[in-house]
Amino acid sequence: MPGSMLHIIAGPTGAGKSAIALALAERHGAVIISADSRQIYRGFDIGTAKPTAEERHRVPHEGIDIAEPTERWSAARWAVAAHGWIASAASRGQPIILCGGTGLWLRALLHPLAPQAPLDPARRAALDAALATIDTETLRRWVAVLDPARAPLGRTQLVRAAEVALLTGARLSDAFAEQSAAPAHHGRWLIVDPGDELHERLATRIDAMFAAGWEAEVRALVATVPADAPAWNACGYREVRELVQGERSHASAREVVLIATRQYAKRQRTWFRHQLTATDEVTRLDPAAPDAGVQAERWFRQGAAA
Q: Are residues 287 and 141 in the same domain?
A: no
Amino acid at 188: R
The whole-model pTM stands at 0.80
Question: What is the tens place of the pLDDT at every residue in 38-63?
Answer: 999 999 999 999 999 999 999 999 99
**CA–CA separation, 5 vs 183, rounded Å?**
11
172 and 188, same domain (yes or no): no
pLDDT one-digit tens code per residue, 231-259? 999 999 999 999 999 999 999 999 999 99
Within 10 Å of residue 305's Cβ, how many Cβ atoms?
Answer: 6
**d(Cα 185, Cα 174) in Å, to the nearest integer?**
21
Phi, then psi, of 298 in degrees rounded to 5: -65, -45
Residues 200 and 78 in one domain: yes
Question: Do residues 283 and 190 make contact, with C-beta atoms less than 8 angstroms apart?
Answer: yes
Contact 47, 254 (CB under 8 A): no
Q: Mean pLDDT for the chain?
A: 90
Name the DSSP letter for residue 150.
G
Same domain, 132 and 195: no
Same domain, 87 and 222: yes
Total of domains in the chain:
2
The residue segments making up the domain with residue 12 are 4-113+179-305
What value does the CA radius of gyration of the chain take, rounded to a whole number of Å? 19
Interval 143-154: pLDDT, tens: 999 998 888 877
Residues 128 and 270 in one domain: no
In order of 16, 31, 95, 106, 290, the CA distances from 109 in angstroms are: 23, 17, 17, 5, 33
Neighbours of 213 (CB within 10 A): 13
Q: Which phi and psi angles does 295 have, rounded to 5°?
A: -65, -45
Q: Do 141 and 48 fall within a single domain?
A: no
Task: Tell me if residue 31 falls in helix, strand or coil.
Answer: strand
Same domain, 237 and 201: yes
| 132 alpha-carbon distance from chain centroid | 21
Average pLDDT value for residue range 64-93: 93
Same domain, 19 and 69: yes
In sequence order, the β-bridge partners of residue 10 are 191
Distance CA 65, CA 224 (A): 16
The pLDDT of residue 53: 94
Distance in angstroms between the alpha carbons of the first and the last residue of the chain: 16
For residues 48 and 140, membership in a common domain is answered with no
One domain, residues 282 and 213:
yes
Percent of the chain residues topping a pLDDT of 90: 69
- Is the domain of 56 the same as that of 202? yes
The tens digit of pLDDT for each residue in 95-131 reads 999 999 999 899 889 876 655 667 888 888 899 889 9
Nearest Cα neighbor of 41 from 227, 226, 214, 229 is 229
pLDDT at 181: 45
Distance CA 137, CA 125 (A): 21
Higher pLDDT pick, 161 / 175: 161
**Residue 1 pLDDT greater than 50, yes or no:** no
The domain boundary residue, chosen from 176, 192, 209: 176
- The CATH number linked to 154 is 1.10.20.140
Residues in the chain: 306
Dihedral sign computed on CA atoms, order 14, 20, 25, 30: negative
Instruction: Encode pLDDT of 271-281 as tens digits.
Output: 998 888 766 78
The CATH number linked to 65 is 3.40.50.300
Rounded Cα gap, residues 199 and 290, in angstroms: 20
> Does pLDDT of 201 surpass 60?
yes
Query: Are the C-beta atoms of 96 and 33 separated by less than 8 Å?
Result: yes
